[in-house]
Amino acid sequence: MYSAGSLFQLLRDGRPRTRAELAAETGLARSTVTQRVDSLLASNLIGPADKAASTGGRPPTRFAFNPNARYVLAADIGATHARLALTDLAAQVLAQSADDLLVAAGPETVLDWIDRVGHDLIASAGRDPADLLGVGIGLPGPVEHSSGRPVSPPIMPGWDGFDVQGYLQDRFGAVALVDNDVNIMALGEHHVAWSDAPHMMFVKVATGIGSGLISDGRLHRGAQGAAGDMGHLQLPHGTDVVCRCGNTGCLEAVASGAAIAAKLAARGTEAKSSFDVVALARGGNIEALQLLRQAGRDIGEVLAAAVSLFNPSVIVIGGSLSQAGEHLIAGVREIVYRRSLPLATQDLRIVQSSTGDRAGIIGAAVMVVDHALAPAQVDLLMASAPAATVG
Amino acid sequence: MYSAGSLFQLLRDGRPRTRAELAAETGLARSTVTQRVDSLLASNLIGPADKAASTGGRPPTRFAFNPNARYVLAADIGATHARLALTDLAAQVLAQSADDLLVAAGPETVLDWIDRVGHDLIASAGRDPADLLGVGIGLPGPVEHSSGRPVSPPIMPGWDGFDVQGYLQDRFGAVALVDNDVNIMALGEHHVAWSDAPHMMFVKVATGIGSGLISDGRLHRGAQGAAGDMGHLQLPHGTDVVCRCGNTGCLEAVASGAAIAAKLAARGTEAKSSFDVVALARGGNIEALQLLRQAGRDIGEVLAAAVSLFNPSVIVIGGSLSQAGEHLIAGVREIVYRRSLPLATQDLRIVQSSTGDRAGIIGAAVMVVDHALAPAQVDLLMASAPAATVG
Could you read off the pLDDT of B294-324 as tens digits, one per residue?
Answer: 999 999 999 999 999 999 999 999 999 999 8
Q: Do B151 and B205 have their domain in common? A: no
Per-residue pLDDT tens digits for A274-319: 999 999 999 999 999 999 999 999 999 999 999 999 999 999 999 9
Q: Do A217 and A319 have their domain in common? A: yes
For residues B277 and B321, is the Cβ–Cβ distance under 8 A?
A: yes
Interchain proximity A1–B379, CB inside 8 Å: yes
Stretch 361-390 of chain A: residues touching chain B, C-beta under 8 Å: 379
The count of C-alpha atoms lying within 13 angstroms of the C-alpha of B349, restricted to the half-sphere facing its C-beta, is 11
The identity of residue B381, as a single letter, is L
The pLDDT value recorded for residue B5 is: 85
Average pLDDT over residues B129-137: 96
Test mutation, B182, B200, B301, B308, chain A, max A CBs within 10 A: B308
Closest to A140 in 3D by CA, of A74, A80, A188: A80
Average pLDDT over residues B139-163: 92
The pLDDT value recorded for residue B384 is: 66
> A18, A48, A65 — which closes off a domain?
A65
Q: Do A336 and A218 have their domain in common? A: yes
Give the distance from residue A71's alpha carbon to the nearest chain B alpha carbon, in angstroms. Answer: 26
Q: What is the mean pLDDT of chain B?
A: 91
* Separation CA B154–CA B141 (nearest Å): 7
Q: Is the pLDDT of residue A86 over 90?
A: yes
The answer to whether residue A331 is domain-embedded is yes
Q: What angle do CA A371, A314, A276 make, to 5 degrees?
A: 90
Instruction: Please name the residues in contact with B210: beta carbons below 8 A apart, sequence gap of 6 or more.
Output: B180, B181, B182, B203, B204, B228, B229, B230, B231
* Separation CA B173–CA B389 (nearest Å): 23
The shortest CB-CB distance from A229 to any of B238, B308, B379 is to B308
Cα dihedral B360/B363/B369/B371 (nearest 10): -110
Note whether A350 contacts B: Cβ–Cβ < 8 A: no
* Separation CA B201–CA B187 (nearest Å): 10
Question: Among A219-228, A365-374, B2-11, whose mean pLDDT is lowest?
Answer: B2-11
Give the distance from residue B228's alpha carbon to the nearest chain A alpha carbon, in angstroms. Answer: 4
The shortest CB-CB distance from A347 to any of B198, B223, B311 is to B223
Question: Among A110-119, A238-247, B178-187, B265-274, whose mean pLDDT is lowest?
Answer: A238-247
Q: Do A156 and A260 have their domain in common? A: no
The answer to whether residue B345 is domain-embedded is yes
The pLDDT value recorded for residue B391 is: 34
Percent of chain A with pLDDT over 70: 95
B186 confidence band (pLDDT: 50, 70, 90): very high
> A18, A42, A65 — which closes off a domain?
A65
Q: Do B23 and B89 have their domain in common? A: no
User: Which CATH number covers residue B32?
Assistant: 1.10.10.10
The pLDDT value recorded for residue A122 is: 98
* Separation CA B214–CA B201 (nearest Å): 6
Give the gyration radius of chain A's Cα atoms. 23
Note whether A312 contacts B: Cβ–Cβ < 8 A: yes
Average pLDDT over residues A17-40: 87
The pLDDT value recorded for residue A29 is: 80
Note whether A338 contacts B: Cβ–Cβ < 8 A: no
The shortest CB-CB distance from A220 to any of B152, B215, B306 is to B215
The answer to whether residue B85 is domain-embedded is yes
Q: What is the mean pLDDT of chain A?
A: 91
Interchain proximity A222–B312, CB inside 8 Å: yes
Number of residues that make up chain B: 391
Per-residue pLDDT tens digits for A203-220: 999 988 999 999 999 999
The Cα-based distances of A227 to A144, A230, B255 in angstroms read 11, 9, 26
Stretch 134-153 of chain A: residues touching chain B, C-beta under 8 Å: 142, 151-152
Per-residue pLDDT tens digits for A267-283: 999 999 999 999 999 99
Interchain proximity A224–B305, CB inside 8 Å: no
What sign does the dihedral B27-B31-B37-B43 (CA atoms) show?
negative
Q: How many domains does chain B have?
A: 3
Q: Do B96 and B238 have their domain in common? A: no
Note whether B302 contacts A: Cβ–Cβ < 8 A: yes
A31 confidence band (pLDDT: 50, 70, 90): confident
The answer to whether residue B389 is domain-embedded is no
* Separation CA B20–CA B73 (nearest Å): 36
Note whether A349 contacts B: Cβ–Cβ < 8 A: no
* DSSP string for B37-74: HHHHHHHTSEEEEEEPP-SSSSPPEEEEE-TTSSEEEE
Boundaries of domain holding A259: 193-357
Q: Is the pLDDT of residue B213 over 50?
A: yes
The answer to whether residue B317 is domain-embedded is yes
A345 confidence band (pLDDT: 50, 70, 90): confident
Q: Do B43 and B129 have their domain in common? A: no
- Sort out which chain A residues have CB atoms less than 8 A from B308's CB and list them: 226, 229-230, 232-233
Q: Do A140 and A237 have their domain in common? A: no
Interchain proximity A233–B3, CB inside 8 Å: no
Q: Is the pLDDT of residue A380 over 90?
A: no
Q: Do B232 and B314 have their domain in common? A: yes
The answer to whether residue B349 is domain-embedded is yes
The pLDDT value recorded for residue A389 is: 41
Note whether B308 contacts A: Cβ–Cβ < 8 A: yes
The Cα-based distances of B273 to A357, B23, B121, B195 in angstroms read 54, 57, 31, 33
Per-residue pLDDT tens digits for B18-74: 999 988 887 778 888 898 899 899 888 999 986 555 566 777 889 999 999 999 999
* Separation CA B97–CA A205 (nearest Å): 53
Q: Is the pLDDT of residue B340 over 70?
A: yes
The pLDDT value recorded for residue A55 is: 63
Q: Do B161 and B270 have their domain in common? A: no
Q: Which backbone phi and psi does A73 adopt, to 5 degrees?
A: -105, 130
Biggest CA–CA distance in chain A, Å, is: 79
Classify residue A169 as exposed, middle or buried by CB count within 10 Å of its CB (0-12, 13-18, 19+): middle
Per-residue burial over A317-334, b if 16 or more Cβ lie within 10 Å, else e, is bbbbbbbbbebbbebbbe
Q: Do B101 and B216 have their domain in common? A: no
User: Which CATH number covers residue B104?
Assistant: 3.30.420.40
Interchain proximity B6–A2, CB inside 8 Å: no
Note whether B343 contacts A: Cβ–Cβ < 8 A: yes
Cα dihedral B325/B331/B336/B342 (nearest 10): 90
CB pairs under 8 A between A and B: 147
The answer to whether residue A271 is domain-embedded is yes
The pLDDT value recorded for residue B52 is: 55
Note whether B221 contacts A: Cβ–Cβ < 8 A: yes
The answer to whether residue A389 is domain-embedded is no
Note whether B209 contacts A: Cβ–Cβ < 8 A: no
Q: Do A351 and A209 have their domain in common? A: yes
The pLDDT value recorded for residue B55 is: 63
Q: Is the pLDDT of residue A124 over 80?
A: yes
Note whether A6 contacts B: Cβ–Cβ < 8 A: yes
Average pLDDT over residues A5-26: 88
For residues A199 and B226, is the Cβ–Cβ distance under 8 A?
A: no
Q: Is the pLDDT of residue B357 over 70?
A: yes
> A49, A65, A81 — which closes off a domain?
A65
Output B51 or A89, whichever has higher pLDDT. Answer: A89
What sign does the dihedral B250-B255-B256-B261 (CA atoms) show?
positive
Test mutation, B224, B230, B303, chain A, max A CBs within 10 A: B224
Closest to A355 in 3D by CA, of A322, A382, A313, A389: A322
